[in-house]
Amino acid sequence: MKIAVNTRLLIKGKLEGIGWFTYETLKRITQNHPEHQFYFIFDRPHHQDFIFGDHVTPLIAFPPAKHPYLWYLFFEWGVPYQLKKIKPDLFFSPDGWVPLTKKVKMVNVIHDLNFEHHPEFIAPTPLKYYQNYFHQFAQYPERIVTVSEFSKNDISNLYGVDKEKIDVVYNGSNTLYRPLTDDEKHQTREKYSSGNPYFLFVGLVHKRKNLQRILEAFDRFKEQDQEQYKMVVVGELKYMDAETESSYERMKYKDDVYFLGRKPIDELIMITGSASAMVYTSLFEGFGIPIVEAFQAETPLITSNITSMPEIAGDAALIVNPYEVEEIADAMLKMSKEPELVKQLIEKGKERATLFSWDLTAERVWQSIEKVLYS
């Protein structure tokens, strides 16, 4: 069988959440199924690291999909042009976009619909594209894969898609995350937090990630706990909004906040494993991979009680209302003052982590593909 795949997010050195999903699932699927021929459709020259075998043929469709106008041309002209040449038995898209000139069976992965709930978090031009086309991207494919029961219900309720057509496939996480030795933690804290214990925020510094309230909560926490706790922020700052910046400037304890910028995976593993707790109180997530990474690192977690996060975290985290600064601050205080609670959360997190792996993700994505391939 010939399977064409949208691989536009496989960009060397620039893999983000959905890019990692694309990489981890396709690597396993292609290696597990050499009996099929795969055609990877890129939007720019590809890196050889993404060609996982002799049965994977790379192709380039133009133009590069760098902004909404080019997204449209790439998917409605570039990709159909390649599909016409390939004549595949199926087209698989791991990032939510599909060509609307439907001449082939399709499986599409829609990770979440955050823009439908929080349009204020999206720039006007991309937002218009999402709102114009994503409901169609949900209607055209034979099957949809999504990453949580929350997202499955959301897609069905908002777009009227039959739930029988939607398969839930949880994300995995990088298996390099692990518990650290006391010596490794000591060295990491010396390097990044002046030797002090710290709370950790990981993610793009974007309004949706709720850093503004996390910083406000940390300030309140410090009012109640004068120990030398720090707040470590890992993530690009280029999308920091004015409200978050203003909250930071107003902080009494802003000198205890360390902005590290984006870090490579080897450093991030050490930073995550050395944290006193991860604070992942986002306002919207289709899944939330850092939740699982915290579990694997045996780092206790504070997360949100909305969207997919309580589903993924289960009882292995302190669950708070992300809009309530006092609740986040109280959770920080518990993490600093209740070692038995921390121990219990770590043990539950270790057990919870076994539910999520990229091997399972790839296997279940392939099962969805087979449902369509052989229908």
What predicted TM-score, i.e. pTM, was given to this entire model?
0.94
Contact residues for 78 (Cβ-Cβ < 8 A; gap 6+): 43, 61, 62, 63
- Does residue 15 carry a pLDDT above 90? no
Q: Kindly compute the dihedral angle of the four CA atoms of residues 273, 278, 282, 284, in this order, to the nearest 10 degrees.
A: 50
- Does residue 43 carry a pLDDT above 80? yes
Q: What are the tens digits of pLDDT across the range 109-129?
A: 999 999 999 999 999 999 999
Tokens 């409200």 belong to residue: 243
- Does residue 65 carry a pLDDT above 80? yes
- Does residue 226 carry a pLDDT above 80? no
Tell me the average pLDDT across 41-51. 96
Nearest to 294 by CA among 318, 321, 311, 269: 269
Report the largest interatomic distance among the alpha carbons of the chain, rounded to a whole angstrom. Answer: 66
Tell me the average pLDDT across 38-63. 97
| Superfamily name and number for 2-172+358-373 | Glycogen Phosphorylase B; (3.40.50.2000)
Please state, rounded to an integer, the average pLDDT across all residues of the chain. Answer: 96
The CB-side HSE value for 157 (13 A sphere, CA atoms) comes to 10
Q: pLDDT value at position 116?
A: 97
User: pLDDT-based confidence at 32, cuts 50/70/90?
Assistant: very high
Domain boundaries, the chain: 2-172+358-373, 182-353
Distance between CA 351 and CA 357 in Å, rounded?
Answer: 13
- Does residue 359 carry a pLDDT above 80? yes
Distance between CA 246 and CA 272 in Å, rounded?
Answer: 27
Give CATH for domain 182-353: 3.40.50.2000
Q: pLDDT value at position 50?
A: 98
For residues 262 and 167, the model is more confident at 167
Q: pLDDT value at position 327?
A: 98
Tell me the average pLDDT across 1-27. 94
Q: pLDDT value at position 174?
A: 86
Residue 32 neighbours by CB distance under 10 Å: 13
Under 8 Å between Cβ of 179 and 343: no
Distance between CA 139 and CA 260 in Å, rounded?
Answer: 42
* One fold for 2-172+358-373 and 182-353: yes
Q: What are the tens digits of pLDDT across the range 277-288?
A: 999 999 999 999
Tokens 């994503």 belong to residue: 134
Residue 187 neighbours by CB distance under 10 Å: 15
Amino acid residing at 212: Q
Tell me the average pLDDT across 16-35. 95
Distance between CA 318 and CA 303 in Å, rounded?
Answer: 6
- Does residue 368 carry a pLDDT above 80? yes
Q: pLDDT value at position 239?
A: 79
Q: CA separation (Å) from 205 to 54, 138, 237, 254, 260?
A: 39, 29, 5, 16, 11
- Map residue 171 onto helix, strand or coil: coil
Q: pLDDT value at position 340?
A: 98
Distance between CA 197 and CA 185 in Å, rounded?
Answer: 9
Distance between CA 260 and CA 262 in Å, rounded?
Answer: 7
Q: pLDDT value at position 320?
A: 98
- Does residue 97 carry a pLDDT above 80? yes
Structure tokens at 236: 């690009």
